[in-house]
Chains A and B, each alone.
Chain A
């Protein structure tokens, strides 16, 4: 019999990373909250899910990613405007007191929103979770080469989009 997991401990350890990842994918705070809540409820109801899991963070990111992709598909089928929503300005980064930095963060959030969700997921995990391509391929259940190429394409688009600003603040 699987013992009940310590949900509070799991939340404290992983919720900030899940929040940032889901917010980047979903571009909507209410949806992010719903997915996170569903995820922790599921962990509490089904303790066996975490049995034998070595990398908790990777496992939870995978669950979050799958739930987010399901939601994106459902919303896409229902509204057909999710891509447009994803491009709307979304505070993804902390506020900066330096005006140049703040503009750069806003533009970066916009540019990330323009990436397809699969590229966005890889870019996020590589840059802000510091995962290796191997870990990303396991988390997102994609081949290693696919993870690497999605990252390269995504990063090229970001570089292209942000080049003028980046040159200014460099």
Chain B
């Protein structure tokens, strides 16, 4: 239910719409449609530019061509998705067999650790400890 104050506000007449707007707005609305908008049957503008679609269609075969003609880059062994645990085991077994056939019984064992050459930082730290 409206109070007196609300009724007082409602009684205030709003400004009238400028008359000259009608012709201008309707003329713009009915004006020529931009080339980039191709209205489909259902009224939804989904084709921004035919030229853009044609260019895209022309680029795809080139991309495919480049993809199949360029040489494959070597993949790092650790990242190869085809390398399973089973293939690693087979490779290890083959290595051992080859080593045995060439008379190297310990070829499959890891080599003894070789001390790494001293790095500048470790050298400095060692000198400080000794000195």
Residues of A within 8 A of B (CB): 1-2, 7-8, 11-12, 15-16, 19-20, 23, 29, 33, 36-37, 40-41, 43-49, 91-94, 104-105, 108, 127-128, 130, 155, 158-159, 166, 169-170
Q: A11-B25, A92-B15 are in contact. List 20 more A-B contacts (CB 8 A).
A: A1-B43, A7-B26, A15-B17, A23-B15, A36-B21, A37-B24, A37-B25, A40-B29, A41-B29, A45-B33, A45-B37, A46-B43, A48-B42, A48-B43, A93-B13, A93-B15, A94-B16, A105-B12, A108-B9, A158-B5
- Complex: how many Å from CA A166 to CA B8? 8
- In the complex, which residues of chain B have a beta carbon less than 8 angstroms from the beta carbon of A104? 12
A2 and B42 within 8 A (CB) = yes
Q: Would you give the shortest CB distance from B29 to chain A, in whole angstroms?
A: 4
- In the complex, which residues of chain A have a beta carbon less than 8 angstroms from the beta carbon of B17? 15-16, 19-20
Residues of B within 8 A of A (CB): 4-6, 8-10, 12-18, 21-22, 24-26, 28-30, 33, 37, 39, 41-45
- In the complex, which residues of chain B have a beta carbon less than 8 angstroms from the beta carbon of A45? 33, 37, 39, 45
Residue on A nearest B43 in the bound complex, by CB:
A48
- Complex: how many Å from CA A104 to CA B9? 10
A1 and B42 within 8 A (CB) = yes
- In the complex, which residues of chain B have a beta carbon less than 8 angstroms from the beta carbon of A105? 12
Q: Helix, strand, loop or mixed for chain A's interface?
A: helix
Q: Would you give the shortest CB distance from A75 to chain B, in whole angstroms?
A: 21
B14 and A94 within 8 A (CB) = yes
Q: Would you give the shortest CB distance from A119 to chain B, in whole angstroms?
A: 14
- In the complex, which residues of chain A have a beta carbon less than 8 angstroms from the beta carbon of B39? 45
- Complex: how many Å from CA A23 to CA B21? 14
- Complex: how many Å from CA A159 to CA B45? 48
B9 and A158 within 8 A (CB) = yes
- In the complex, which residues of chain B have a beta carbon less than 8 angstroms from the beta carbon of A40? 25-26, 28-29
B25 and A36 within 8 A (CB) = yes
B6 and A127 within 8 A (CB) = yes
- In the complex, which residues of chain B have a beta carbon less than 8 angstroms from the beta carbon of A11? 22, 25-26
B43 and A33 within 8 A (CB) = no
Q: Which residue of B8, B16, B24, B25 is within 8 Å of A16 (Cβ)? A: B16
A-B contact pairs, 8 of them (CB 8 A): A20-B17, A37-B24, A45-B33, A45-B37, A91-B15, A94-B16, A127-B10, A170-B4
- Complex: how many Å from CA A92 to CA B43? 36
Residue on B nearest A101 in the bound complex, by CB:
B12
